[in-house]
Structure 1
């Protein structure tokens, strides 16, 4: 049985403007530029400000929307009331006024003599393009060439081939209609492994190191290194040096020479090319902190504050449509379209302004909280700080602070740091002082760097050292911090 009922519900919803602001806050400065370009392309009412000294006028849009207004996914008003009389156009008079100051994000304080620096765009050959180019220099049958390109396409970023040849053979049959056996594919793989850098397309670390050694001059040390990797790789990887000395019948100095030879090899040859390309990519800081007379000064990267204004041409369209909209329905629809675009442009500029303010307030709180660190650059001066500490300081939600800190960098006189690195948990020392876990990790790193490499510290010994320095940690916690630092266990750090 169907029934009708009337009920009231109280719902809390985010407006499209709030959603737009949250998305903008999360963007780093480089992605913000792309987002602004996208908005300019999609909304003809929004444009970049001119850099000349001409006076630019902009709209002061009416704030006539009520809380009951509804918006679509693009943040544009829907269910607009129909315009029926000339009085309905009175609200647009401010849009047409030339006395309204321009709606800009910042003033143009630069003269025509100021030099404008533009970073050059660097284009480089990718890791895969480099290998495909080398493969093209070899004389291979067409079938082998296609198979070689397919093998290169299946390499991981570090240069390893981690798929078995049987699977690749099946893929070539179904995707390229090429029938090639795994044994023949092995021959193609050998050709790919001849490419530079040495060790490329290896299927494991042992094969990678052997491929590099086979290209070196065959000195006694290299021949012995090849023998060790072929017959005693497990003992070498686990650093059971006593077993190697006994089984090979060599002295300790000879083994040291072999280890030195192997240590010069590259365990991840693919990164050799990728890293070279990464050097061309620079980090763009979102915040810049400088020290002036022992005082910290914070500024936003200028790319966070682009000059935007509302198109003068679109304001002139309002004037053009005003008279015709009194009697022509199509002119009314055109007028409403223009107003929607102007509203959207205004909201976007408001969101950019609010983003700047939110970023400055939040980063100022972080800078003051970590004042000693920013003045000295000493990581041991870093105070324990979590998102809630800053949220309570500035009166914003924790999620907003997280968005501000996400994927953003701060430039200081001591280097450029990821903002998230400044947040860490804390612990209390034996003296009752609150310290950051990053300080403990720095002390642990220094202790490991100064250890006797022939007898490296175990986790128990590291735990004892930290306890003596006033950091009461359990061995399990020390092991966790060591793993977070990417430091292997004592046995793997051992050297002859």
Structure 2
């Protein structure tokens, strides 16, 4: 049985131009430059650099910005494609669905060539005399080393895997013997099965002194008391003075708990931060500038425009000429949209950062994080009459060069809390004060979270102990017991 019914539905879709603008806004400077390079390669109707040749048609763009005074653009009135097309011929580009999410874009991670950590370890095995079975075991052990430098598996599991995957039948004693050889590889501590063994390997490789001897004794025989910082028990157990214990602990503190992280091979990808903005103090006033690399000089290709004019003036309109007009018009439109999107991106970035700068003016003038005002995305969005998502795209991936260092813009945003005067203060301000209090505490008797909450309350910030614990963890500061020093 067939039924008919009407359904009214409201839907909101982004135009291809809006999607393009949103994608450009969220790109930091270096990624933006790559995007421009890609567009120049894909669209022959788009050219870079200044075009100094005078044009004989009006521009659709507002050329008040000096960066684009010499740019050449195509106006819709200059091109009448309808005269080349009959009513039943609709160009393909008008039928394509481009309204996809920004999350649908392909994301790829570039990899740098070079020697891997595993290859670095295997190459060192060549300096040892090993029989065939020992070499297979050694290479399997090296292959089991994780990026931190540890082998986090039991010898029995490794023995089973060797039998099933490598067809090597051996004993735990033989594996342990080969493991001792792996422990001699660089960086020191690699191949350890736990932190205690890692520190012990490094200490045994150091020059023997009274301090290192005591440090080895502590790690090998009193590791639990050391990790819990029971210094009184250590003094009593080893019958040493406070100074001797302090020197031994100093030796341990200089060891590397993650030896794999110290490998500086060529496969490490180093990310260089390029500030998108710069803030300077000039005569007591803040001055904001946008990185010039965000304002490239682009224009529509004169050659493509001349080609279109040639087809326009042609008397005979063949099928191939119609196809050429559709293709050229598509590329010219894409070039025009891209140039307009770049201008809008530039304006959006500047307006958003300018609002943030003036909102946090006191901080940018002093550099004191205690002067950061509570600020959420909606505060800036309301001020510049833009959507919260737009402000988020600007803040999440952009950096600003300030007199106090290069900062991630999103770090200027924080929630508000009430002080004892009923005023809104930034949680960043409270965290900074908490950090200062902990830095100035007596390390022999570190302050507990309850004591810290009491001190903050005396300073005018009435917050609970659990809130202090949360802020302390966000600052990567350990509990009082682990902050204790002899």
- TM-score, normalised to structure 1's length? 0.80
From 131, 154, 173, the counterpart of 2:120: 131
Aligned equivalents of 1:143, 1:314: Cα separation in 2: 69
Counterparts in 2 of 1:265 and 1:132: CA distance versus 1, 3 Å: closer
Deviations 1:46-94 (A, max 9, x none): 23225x97777733131799xxxxxxxxxxxxxx978347xx9xxxxxx
Q: 1: distance between equivalents of 2:411 and 2:299?
A: 36
Distance 1:135 1:490 in 2: 43
Pick closer, same or farther for the CA change 1:136–1:353 going to 2, 3 Å: farther
Change (3 A) 1:180 1:328: farther
Equivalent residue number for residue 111 of structure 1: none
In structure 1, the partner of 2:96 is none
- Equivalent pairs counted in the alignment come to 444
Contact 2:115 2:266 (C-alpha < 8 Å) held by counterparts: no
Look up the match of 1:62: 76
1:413 aligns with 2:403: yes
Contact persistence 1:134–1:195 (CA under 8 A): no
In structure 2, the CA distance between the partners of 1:84 and 1:316, relative to structure 1 (3 Å rule), is: same
Structure 1 residues 155 and 285 mapped into 2: Cα distance closer, same or farther (>3 Å)? farther
**Partner of 2:187: helix, strand, or coil?**
coil
Higher mean C-alpha displacement, 41-50 vs 143-152: 143-152
In the alignment, is the contact (CA less than 8 A) between 2:46 and 2:335 conserved in 1?
Answer: yes
Give the aligned partner of residue 19 of structure 1: 19
1:348 aligned residue (329, 333, 338):
338
> Which stretch of the first structure deviates more once superposed, 159-168 or 394-403?
159-168
Match for residue 44 of structure 1? 44
1:388 equivalent to 2:378? Answer yes
Secondary structure in 2 aligned to 1:406? helix
Aligned to 1:76: none
Q: Are 1:268 and 2:258 counterparts?
A: yes
Q: Deviations over 1:152-203 (max 9, x none)?
A: 565444333335566666777787x564757455555444432322122323
Deviations along 1:114-144, whole A, 9 cap, x unmatched?
xxxxxxxxx9966627825853653456776
What secondary structure is seen at the aligned counterpart in 1 of 2:76? Answer: coil
Correspondence 1:300-319 to 2 at 5 A: 300-319=290-309
How far did 1:473 drift? 1.0
Q: 1:9, CA displacement in angstroms? A: 2.8
Partner of 1:30: 30
Query: Contact conserved, 1:391 with 1:401, CA < 8 A, in 2?
Result: yes
Q: Is the 8 A contact 2:85 2:322 kept in 1?
A: no
Name the CA distance, whole Å, in 2 between partners of 1:345 and 1:14.
19
Q: Structure 1's 327 and 372: CA in aligned 2 closer, same or farther, altered over 3 A?
A: same
Aligned to 1:95: none
CA contact 2:21–2:344 (8 Å) conserved in 1: yes
DSSP 3-state at the match of 2:325 = helix
Against the structure 1 CA distance between its residues 130 and 466, is the aligned structure 2 distance closer, same or farther, given a 3 Å change threshold?
Answer: farther
C-alpha RMSD of the superposition: 3.3
Aligned equivalents of 2:132 and 2:310: distance in 1? Answer: 66
State which of 310, 331, 342 in structure 1 corresponds to 2:321.
Answer: 331
> Structure 2: which 5+ residue stretches go unaligned?
55-69, 90-111
- Gap runs ≥5 in structure 1: 66-79, 89-122
Written as runs of structure 1 = structure 2, the 5 A alignment for 1:342-491 is 342-491=332-481
Further displaced range: 364-373 or 161-170:
161-170
In the other structure, the counterpart of 2:84 is 83
Greater mean alpha carbon deviation, residues 292-301 or residues 5-14: 5-14
- Shift of the alpha carbon at 1:148? 5.5
Shift of 1:398: 1.0
The 3 A distance-change label for structure 1 pair 13 and 465 is same
Aligned residue number for residue 103 of structure 2: none
Q: Is the 8 A contact 2:235 2:241 kept in 1?
A: yes
The verdict on how the C-alpha distance between 1:484 and 1:320 changes in structure 2, with shifts beyond 3 A counting, is same
Whether the aligned pair in 1 keeps the contact of 2:74 and 2:332 (CA below 8 Å) is no
Query: What is the alpha-carbon distance in structure 1 between the residues aligned to residue 14 and residue 190 of structure 2?
Result: 52
- Deviation of 1:253 after TM superposition, in Å, equals 2.9
- Bigger mean CA offset, 29-38 vs 140-149: 140-149
For 2:314 and 2:164, the matched residues in 1 are separated by: 64
Partners of 1:213 and 1:189 lie apart in 2 by 17
C-alpha displacement at 1:234, in angstroms?
1.1
Contact 1:287/1:300, CA 8 A, preserved across alignment: yes
Q: Which whole-Å CA distance do the structure 2 matches of 1:182 and 1:40 have between them? A: 62
**Closer, same or farther: CA 297–154 of 1 in aligned 2, 3 Å:** farther
Aligned partner of 2:99 in structure 1 is none
1:255–1:413 distance in 2 versus 1, CA, 3 Å: same
Which among 268, 272, 282 is matched to residue 292 of structure 1?
A: 282
Residues 230-241 of structure 1: pairs in structure 2 closer than 5 A? 230-241=220-231
Displacement of 1:396: 1.0
